[in-house]
Structure formats: structure tokens, C-alpha cells
Structure 1
């Protein structure tokens, strides 16, 4: 089956409209059975959002954009379908693909910046466009891989190994039915449980003025005297690669 997860981090109206129009373009392409063209989808979503926010009243705003579209390609050797992920990114939100069986990150997007703490964004106050700046990567995945789409509220507060530990540990905890799982309700969907666990881990660091964090480390590299986590919006989407039922 095909699954699409899209993520935008910015002013509320702009981020919601970008995701709405982007998902609609992807659905339209999938219904035609075409090879995914994520940047074209995002470009049209951007143009629709510009139109929607300038007529009859102009609404200012900007947003980052990142997304992952699950597709497949045929393996010429045996004709089997190989799942692939089309990952699109513009800005400093991030998509990571984890392989839980060996606790490894097999792919992650790179943040795009104008300068420190000023990411590339789509919007009325930005020169950036999908066609000009968005990056698409095709990632071969397998059943059991975990796909994360997170805002910089996660990556500014947790290092990569902490994200991996939180996700893999959360999956094991859910499967084993630990105390925390029981307290929240055993029937909560596994990926929802993992997403909440990751979000809470990032929030703990964000609210700690004395914590060591990636944001603090990057700030020091820029010659800025900063300490602790970064208070910011924290958003997490988690998906599990699996075969369609039926």
C-alpha cells in the first residue's frame, strides 16, 4: 500500500495550508498511478497557498516543509515489489528512517539554513521556493523500518543517538506491556505511544535551562553563549513500514 506523511513547521495558517494542498496533490498523482514527483506537488501546493493567502486579504506567514511518500518499484530479478520512500525536505524539520532491529539510522535529511537559527522556509517573507530549494531523496526501505518526521523542537533538544534509543526503547516497552504502557492504556497504538514518548523526552530537555543540547552546542560553535535546551514547538509524526493487509 501507499502511505503519505507530510509535515510543516511555521505560522499556523501557512503550515496547515501547505500540508493540505501538498497532500491533495500527492493523492491526485497516486490516483493516476504515476511515478511520484514530490517537488512538483509541493510547488503546486506552495502556489495554491500563496493564492489562498493573498486574495482577497493578504496573510503573512512562512513555514518549513518535510514529507515522506511510500511507493514501490519492481525488482527486475524476481519481479517482487521493493518499497521505497520519497523524502522531501525544505528547512530545518527532519525526516529520519530507523531500522530498529539493529538500532541504526539508515537515512536522515540535512537541515537547510540561511544562517544560524534561520531556516529556509516557504512563505510571503521568504525568497525560497520548492523548485529552487527543496531536496528529494529516494530511500530503499524494508518492512519494520520506522519513519520519523519531526520539528526542530526535537532535533534541537535531542541528539541522534537519544532519538534512536527513545524510539527503539519505546517500541520494546509497548510490546512488553511495561508499567508506563499500562498506565496510559495497553491498547494505545504502538506508533502513537512511541511518538508521545519522543515528544516528552524532547520537552524535558527544552524546559531544562541547564541541560546540554544540540542547540546549545551549535550556538557555541557560532560564538554565542547559550546554555540549556531550546523552548520551541515540538511536533512528531511516526510511521511503521509494513505490508498492506489483504
Structure 2
């Protein structure tokens, strides 16, 4: 999403640096948007290893909270950033301000360098302009629009991260002990997250940006697992069921939302989109051992759904062949996420590869070939029943 953005100087207008298709252009010619490819090709060797992890960090004490659900997610995440994200500005991140030669003025301020909002640590992790969140009941991937980095007050990764953070808070309040009863309301939680984020990034701490959002909440009904999928924009949630044959069946795929080609619906500065008006909620019946994936468009622009499913199931098969049934589920999900990231990155860096993004561009009459360099973020989770 680096070639287009909401125009910060207009209340609702969208812009895209489109190019006219040249008649009789050779099919193997790379006809590209300059910003889409040039920066990425130059920076793609910055780091070869994806960042990976299990649960994303939470404040002290929060990890002790448990949902009443008989089911839980064993999950892991992986991400590869096209370029380093813009650092969070104060007051969300405040490095030591005293002299480094005076330990009394620096040590206590440098102990905890985790970003904070409203006095508490911001949940999730940042990957370029994306944000990922992992817990035993909720996984999410938000894709910040990177073009905001060119603006003086632009910070897309702050928007994507805060939306995930505040949605997690609403989910915890509703699902954990002492919270609300009844059916989950993920769209309401996303709306609350949106409003809290707008408030946090208004004067005197005004920062601009937009982000797409996708989340999967594991709940239950009649003692059977049920996944609530919330979608706004072009991130995607897939539900994959491994088969005895070793293949994977895609049970569910959320539908991307666009204003027009490569301009997804998004939340934030100058955007007309809102969770209440535009977010889509799907309820998906799942079974134990089904795999749920929350993906940024850095994955889905470079891999088709069948490929993503094959990589996920193939990674699980590799783990089982190596360790039998004695393996850590979270580590296995981290490996699944990592394999998908590596596969997507391989296509993203190939200027002659066939890709879903190229296919969509051709349908729009644009002579674009190859993968699409972008931040690549994957959260992989497997549904399990609690013991006891």
C-alpha cells in the first residue's frame, strides 16, 4: 500500500500515481510505479530474517487473565518489514532526557523503553507500518499506509498499533472475569478502538495516518468453537483445515474491501471509512486443530490462497515428521507464520514472478509484472480445547 494513500490535504479525496498503459508494451517489461518498486529493491537486503514470536507483550498481570472459553488459540507470529518503521514519537515513546554520564538521571528512565499510551504499555508488535497482536482469544493484523511517512506529522505504524491495542482492551473487558456477558461484539470493539485512537492522536499529540484492520476472535457456542472475523480493508483472515491427505482445505476467506484498485478502505486521518459503517463481521464454525491466519496484504498480494494454505499445512507436516506428536504448538505456529512470510517475500522480490497483485493490475489495464514489495505480516493460530 505504498503507492497510494488518503490525501492529507483533502477531507475525503483519494489519490494514486497512476500511469497510462503504453500500447504494444512487451509482456516481460517491468512497468512499475516508481515508489512501489524502487525503494524496496534498494532496501530488500537490509535484513534477511523475519522477526518472530509467540504471544505479543502485555502489561504485567494481564497474562494471568483467562477467558471462560473452553477453547483457546495456540499462536505465533512472523513479519518482515520492507523498511524500518518510523519511530513512535513522544509521549508514546520517551527515551532518557538527562545526561548519559549521570546514572542517577538516566537509569530509572531507561529501564522500560516499551511504548505507552494512557500510562500503560501498548499491546502488540510493530512490523514496518504493520501491527500484529496475539493472545489466546484474539489475533489481529493491521496494515498501516506507509505513504504517511512522507508527511511531517505522519506515523502510520502508530495508528495500526493503537487500533490493535485498544481493540484488545475492549475484548479483554468483555470476555475476561468481571466483564460483559452475552455475544461478543467485535465491530463495536473496533469502533471503540478507532475512537480511542483518534482521541490519543489528536492535539496536543496530533499524528496522522491510516490503517486497515483484520481480527479473529475465538469464542464458542453449544460447546463448539466459533470464530468471529472482523474485516475492514485489504488485510485478510483465512481458516484452513488440514486434511489426512496432507493437503489443506480453505474453509473461509474474508473479502477485501477497496475504494478502487490498490486503495483499500482504511481507518484514520481524512478517511470516510468507519467500523460501524464499513467493517464486516463473519462467524465461522471451526473445529479443533483448524488453523486461523491473519495476514497483511504483503502476503495476499504475493501468494494465492491455495499457496498460503499449502505452506501452512506443509509447515505443520514438517514439524510432525520431525518431532512426532511431541512438539510445542506455539512454536509450531511460529514456524508456520515464518514459512508463509519467507514464501511471500520470495515472490515480492522477484520482478518477473506471477502474483495476485500482478493479476489484479492487469485486470485494471496496468502492465505490471512481478511481486509487490511490502511489509509482510502473519499471525498463525491453531484452535485447541482446554484440558480439564
1:112 partnered with 2:260: no
Question: Which of 207, 213, 217 lines up with 2:349 in the alignment?
Answer: 207
The CA deviation string for residues 67-118 of structure 1, in whole angstroms up to 9 with x for no partner, is 01111111xxxxxx01100000000000000001261100010000001000
2:143 pairs with 1:9: yes
Is 1:64 the counterpart of 2:212? The answer is yes
Answer with 139-148 or 26-35: which moved more.
Answer: 26-35
Q: Quote the offset at 1:57 in angstroms.
A: 2.6
RMSD over aligned CA atoms reads 1.4
Alignment of 1:31-70 (within 5 A): 31=176, 32=179, 33-70=181-218
Q: What is the aligned partner in structure 2 of residue 171 from structure 1?
A: 316
For normalisation by structure 1, the TM-score amounts to 0.92
- Quote the Cα distance in structure 2 between the aligned partners of 1:160 and 1:72: 26
Question: Structure 1, unaligned stretches of length 5 or more?
Answer: 75-80, 179-185
Quote the residue 2:171 is aligned against.
26
SS in 2 for 1:28: helix
- Given candidates 166, 184, 192, the residue that maps to 2:334 is 192
What secondary structure is seen at the aligned counterpart in 2 of 1:177?
A: helix
Write the distance in 1 (CA, Å) between the matches of 2:175 and 2:362: 45
1:18 Cα deviation (Å)? 0.3
**Aligned mates of 2:350, 2:172 — CA distance in 1:** 41
Name the residue aligned to 1:181: none
Once residues 363 and 301 of structure 2 are traced to their aligned partners in structure 1, the CA distance between those partners, rounded to angstroms, is 14
Residue 154 of structure 1: how far off its partner (Å): 0.4
Larger RCO of the pair (alpha carbons < 8 Å, separation 6+)? 2
In structure 2, the residue corresponding to 1:19 is in which secondary structure? Answer: helix
Could you report, residue by residue, the CA deviation over 1:178-206 in whole angstroms, capped at 9, with x for unpaired residues?
A: 9xxxxxxx878100001000000000000
Match status 1:155 vs 2:155: no
| 2:267 aligned partner | 122
In structure 1, what is the Cα distance between the partners aligned to 2:375 and 2:182?
Answer: 35
Q: Could you tell me how far apart the structure 2 residues matched to 1:221 and 1:205 are?
A: 20
TM-score by length of 2: 0.59
Matches for 1:77-92 after TM superposition, within 5 Å: 81-92=223-234
Cα drift, residue 161 of structure 1 = 1.2
Instruction: Spell out, residue by residue over 1:195-231, the C-alpha distance to the aligned partner (whole angstroms, 9 max, x if none).
Output: 0000000000000001000000100000000000000
Larger Rg: 2
* Unmatched runs of 5 consecutive residues or more in structure 2: 1-70, 73-136, 145-155
- 1:164 to partner: Cα distance: 1.1
The structural deviation recorded for 1:160 is: 1.2
Deviation at 1:34, TM superposition (A): 2.9
Judge conservation of contact 1:6–1:23 (CA < 8 Å) in 2.
no
Pairs aligned (count): 233
Q: Which runs of 4+ in 1 moved over 3 A?
A: none
The 8 Å contact of residues 98 and 146 in structure 1, kept in 2 or not, is answered as yes
